[in-house]
Structure 1
Amino acid sequence: MKNEISRYTFYKNKYGSELLIDVVQLKDIKKFLKTGTIHTLTYHDITFITEGKGDFSIDNLLYEACPGDVFFSKPGEIRNWDKDHIMNGYALIFENEFLSSFFKDDLFVQHLSYFNPGKIAARLHPEESLFKRLLQLVSNIKEEIGLYGRHGDHLLRAQLYEILMLLDRIYIEKGTKESIPKESSNLHISRFIHYVGQSFKEHRSVRYYADRLCITPNYLNEIVTISLQVSAKQYIHRKVMEEAKRMLTYTDIPVSGIAISLNYDTVSYFVRSFREHTGQTPLVYRKTHKP
């Protein structure tokens, strides 16, 4: 049985010199998926389904994918899709750096409604005409990469930007932004979420993140509570519990190993904390949720 989730990194030198964007067809990457399709990515992925129907899950959310669907996943999220029944589509993948270095904004991608750090997963089903338009834009990127590769960096950024903005507009028009916290309008909150996502396993004190933001713990707690409706401490704890749920659901790592991975002093403290958060012990949760 597997104890680790397959982790895929970006093939930066696929076309010779470094290029941080690519378009791949699902039918072409099926053979590269290791035994079992549960995996995580180190880069951003936008998947367009064109043929077939089947399950598509991101973290603990399960969807029935069909042609015309668009799925968004962020680095670190646990993905699983039915490669036997989802026959084809396109994955538009890119590293955050491909855009952030150009726009001089490390959080440019995170400010997009569907890549917002406050969301776990997202699916969109645009109108048919819009989906066709998106596919044409994706095809243009694929063609540009094939013709010019790294020499087409600026044009590739422009084409990617057009897709991202178009999807953002559609996503907001569909009303899905209602479930997105208000943190996107607050730089401190955005950076707090970003830093917690990077360091929650090692650092759980509110003071640590307040120091990184150069503000007081009280002020951080105040703005987090207003924006996210939970305290800063509760938000950090929730991220730890989300990771624990992922590991219980998608791996066979023993509870003691998960406790160590999440830097709990004792296994019993982890079990007690998990039970207080979910109402179940880790073993019961695993038995209930593991595929």
Structure 2
Amino acid sequence: MKEHDIKELRDERDFKSFYLNDAPSTFCEECNSVSYQHGSGFLEIAKLEDLKIRQRKIEGRQTRRKFYSIVLLTEGEMEEVIGHQKYLFKPGTMFFVGENQLHAVEAWSDNIKGIYCMFDADYFLLCIKHQIKLNQFPFFQFNKEPFITLSEREVGMMEHLFWKLTSENCQKISFNDDLLTRMFLNVILLEAERIYNRKTSIEQFSLSRKDQLAAQFQFLVSEHFIEKRFVSAYAELLHVHPNYLNDVVKEATGFPASHFIQKQMIQEAKSRLLQTNDTVAMIALALNFTEYSYFGRFFKKHTGMTPLAFRKKHKH
């Protein structure tokens, strides 16, 4: 399938427009609107049964999302394509769709029940130091299986955590309420990772050589983005030509390789602006920018605002 045949979904509004008929502004049963908004990004939580009622007939239509999804399936079955693999998910399954991952809905059974949670990287940007990065969770990595099978106890625990996440999200009236909401999202991901790491996979997850290369590249970027700014440096580490690496990454993700280096740098800059009291000059130096002014131009190009304006707008 050609890239222009793949629908890009930027946020929850695009998701609703593409997948649903007559979607409400919020699926929250406890409120009609959130009284406190802070920072950037979005979080949306819905029941699978509510989505099923409004679901459009777009089976098999591929999308590429600019956000992350977590699905907890408690009843029924879901047939989905994630990356280039087709999965049939049964009750007691939790599966994940990472940012820029290819995805398609094949079929949902009529008796489906569970939870659908969507959020973007900016929403996950907690105002605490040394937070875990989203791309470090194994189920969001392209070369790892994107699901876990839960025990009955684990399903109950996850249902409770999602209930708390929804409750906090719908009733937040202060900065601390908002921070608590984001922390519950973090707890869900950490608990999922703990379960994921405990389970043993009998069969090695199968990926094409190109997909493996794209996954290895993204991992290396997360490790070396501060000192290695150019695609050629990663191509050297991976023993391939830079043009070939760029083509493979573009084919797998829809974006050129340089996009991921720049995106990682911007996310790190945002984290330091919100999570530390370092001056912008100190942050620029720590991120290996030789000139403060160049860092400011780079940040504004990718975010639409200067580093100081971003900090002032988003930091409590």
TM tier, shorter chain? 0.5 to 0.7
**Equivalent position of 1:142 in the other structure:** 166
1:224/1:232 contact within 8 Å kept: no
> Structure 2 regions of 5+ residues with no counterpart?
15-24, 27-32, 255-316
Aligned Cα root-mean-square deviation (Å):
4.1
Distance in 2, Cα, partners of 1:158 & 1:108? 13
Distance in 2, Cα, partners of 1:65 & 1:157? 27
Deviation at 1:54, TM superposition (A): 3.7
Tell me, yes or no, if structure 1 residue 9 matches structure 2 residue 7: no
Distance in 2, Cα, partners of 1:216 & 1:60? 25
Secondary structure at the residue paired with 2:113?
strand
**Equivalent position of 1:223 in the other structure:** 237
Distance in 2, Cα, partners of 1:158 & 1:174? 25
- Alpha-carbon distance change, 34 to 216 in structure 1, aligned in 2, over 3 angstroms: closer
Distance in 1, Cα, partners of 2:120 & 2:67? 5
Secondary structure at the residue paired with 2:127?
helix
Among 57, 63, 66, which residue is 2:81 paired with? 57
Greater percentage in helix: 1
Residue deviations 1:75-118 (CA, integer Å, cap 9, x gap):
333221423446121012211112235356798101111112x4
Deviates more, 1:3-12 or 1:50-59: 3-12
Deviation at 1:120, TM superposition (A): 7.0
Tell me, yes or no, if structure 1 residue 214 matches structure 2 residue 229: yes
Q: Using the aligned pairs only, state the percent identity.
A: 14
Distance in 1, Cα, partners of 2:231 & 2:88? 45
Report the TM-score, using the length of structure 2 for normalisation: 0.56
> Structure 1 regions of 5+ residues with no counterpart?
196-209, 245-291
Among 112, 129, 133, which residue is 2:137 paired with? 112
Distance in 2, Cα, partners of 1:110 & 1:20? 18
Among 75, 86, 98, which residue is 1:74 paired with? 98
Tell me, yes or no, if structure 1 residue 34 matches structure 2 residue 56: yes
Tell me, yes or no, if structure 1 residue 47 matches structure 2 residue 71: yes
- Alpha-carbon distance change, 53 to 22 in structure 1, aligned in 2, over 3 angstroms: same
- Alpha-carbon distance change, 234 to 30 in structure 1, aligned in 2, over 3 angstroms: same
Distance in 2, Cα, partners of 1:86 & 1:239? 38
- Alpha-carbon distance change, 178 to 106 in structure 1, aligned in 2, over 3 angstroms: farther
- Alpha-carbon distance change, 214 to 58 in structure 1, aligned in 2, over 3 angstroms: closer
Among 217, 221, 230, which residue is 1:190 paired with? 221
Residue deviations 1:112-131 (CA, integer Å, cap 9, x gap):
11112x43761210222112
- Alpha-carbon distance change, 60 to 216 in structure 1, aligned in 2, over 3 angstroms: closer
Among 249, 254, 273, which residue is 1:239 paired with? 249
1:40/1:76 contact within 8 Å kept: yes
> Residue type matched to 2:87 in 1?
Y
**Equivalent position of 2:113 in the other structure:** 88
